[in-house]
Amino acid sequence: MEDKLAKRTWVEINPEALKKNLHICRELAPDAAVMAVVKADAYGHGLTETVKAIESQIDAFGVATLREAITIISLISEKKMVMILGALLPDERKAAILQDIHVTVSSLEEAKEFNDLGKSCDREVQAHLVLDTGMGRLGFSEKSFVENCQEIKTLNHISIKGVATHFPCSDQDNEFTEKQIKAFNSILRNSNIKPKWIHLANSAATLRIGNSSGTMIRPGLIIYGISPIEDSGSKLKPAMEWRARISQIRNLPPGSSISYGRSYITEAETKVATVAVGYGDGYPRSLSGKDTEVIIKGTRCRILGKVTMDMIMVDVTAICEPLKSGDEVTLIGTEGNECISVLELAKKAETIPWEILTGISPRVERMVCEENKE
């Protein structure tokens, strides 16, 4: 407790929740392997903490950068597939090859460049060919894939470990997603390649369609206990709670202005708590003026005025219990009978849960909470 109270703002990660959510993933796609997507500091949950918690529960890790991949390799106790889901820059490729990191290949030219590098360092490139079926971000075109595959198969230092595609709207458009799956499977059959790993399903697709005809799923958001689909009926458990501490409490008279721009003026005497968190910690400035609330002593309390870089001001007039500097504030999570979810904050900030989570800055310490809060 003393260690926690020494912090201004922190997030608590529940490893049991991560494991429970992964169990749900396997129930949704029982015949598929699981690639846990842990890019962007494990969606803000802390890469080191998350990898250590779920290593034994998954088959592979998916990341966005070479640095993330190398970090995971240094953390895991036994060798697993670590895959960079995005395109590598030319000067990153050799390092990835030397570490046996699985890489994405989106064109014949890229495949040839990887093959030349593999030849120069006498290593096999662990390649996953990406087919663009509608995302428009990476990948071979549907027209070029079959022809290019035949040439890639002749490259001596390229090992085709997988074929993948990505769904842009599996959270809202089943018809288009099904069309992608059908096109993907047709093209894959015509290509006459049989890789071990075929992966299409992201979190939303896993919830709706299971493995989406693949041999591996790539869950991200649902690992962390948040559904990308409203009313999904899932039993996912959020793995993160975000807290801060009160730094000061003041009684302000009527007519007092609060925060930059004087956008809020008190109409009556108001007890105001200044809380040690702000947009410098990743608490979005766009939550200003949206009736955003935090939880203090089990009571929802409204933010007053604009979110500043290091502080927010909160109306605590309704709290009857004594308050003091150092008391805890729940920004995301459960306290008493009240709960503030990432989805609630995202809606008020007019953004998406992914941005809220990944926006939590490095200065917010990640703490592993061993207690399973069921």
The active-site residue, picked from 39, 237, 306, 348, is 39
- Residue 371's pLDDT is 56
For the question of residue 39 being annotated catalytic, the response is yes
For the segment 32-41, the average pLDDT, to the nearest whole number, is 98
Q: State residue 234's pLDDT score.
A: 74
Selecting from 3.40.109.10, 1.10.645.10, 3.40.50.300, 3.20.20.10, what CATH number does the domain 31-223 have? Answer: 3.20.20.10
- Mean residue pLDDT of the chain comes to 95
Query: Strand 240-252 to strand 60-63: parallel, antiparallel, or no bridges (unpaired)?
Result: unpaired
pLDDT of residue 2: 45
Tell me which of 153, 179, 260, 347 is the catalytic residue.
260
Q: Which residues of 179-200 are buried (b: 16+ CB within 10 A; e: fewer)?
A: ebbeebeebbeebebebebbbb
| Res. 231 pLDDT band, cuts 50 70 90 | low
User: Between residues 260 and 231, which one has the greater pLDDT?
Assistant: 260
Q: How many residues does the chain have?
A: 374
Q: Has residue 60 got a pLDDT over 80? A: yes
Average pLDDT over residues 95-102: 97
Taking residues 84-91, report their average pLDDT: 97
Q: Is the pLDDT of residue 262 over 50?
A: yes
d(CA 216, CA 70): 22
pLDDT at 233: 67
What residue spans in the chain does CATH classification 2.40.37.10 cover?
240-368
Tens of pLDDT, residues 148-193: 999 999 999 999 999 999 999 999 999 999 999 999 999 999 999 9
Q: Which of 106-120, 224-238, 298-312, 334-348 has the lowest mean pLDDT?
A: 224-238
Asked which of 2-6, 47-51, 94-98, 202-206 is least confident by mean pLDDT, the reply is 2-6
Averaged over 233-255, what is the pLDDT? 94
Q: Is the dihedral of CA 224, 343, 67, 195 positive or negative?
A: positive
pLDDT at 181: 97
**Any catalytic annotation for residue 260?**
yes
pLDDT at 44: 97
State yes or no: pLDDT of 273 exceeds 50. yes
- Segments of the chain assigned to CATH 3.20.20.10: 31-223
**CATH architecture for residues 240-368:** Beta Barrel (2.40)
The strands making up 197-199's β-sheet, listed across from edge to edge, are: 81-84, 60-63, 33-37, 216-217, 197-199, 158-164, 125-130, 103-105
Q: Enumerate residues 6+ apart whose C-beta is below 8 A from 74.
A: none
Banded pLDDT at 304 (limits 50, 70, 90): very high
Reply yes or no on whether the pLDDT at 1 is more than 50: no
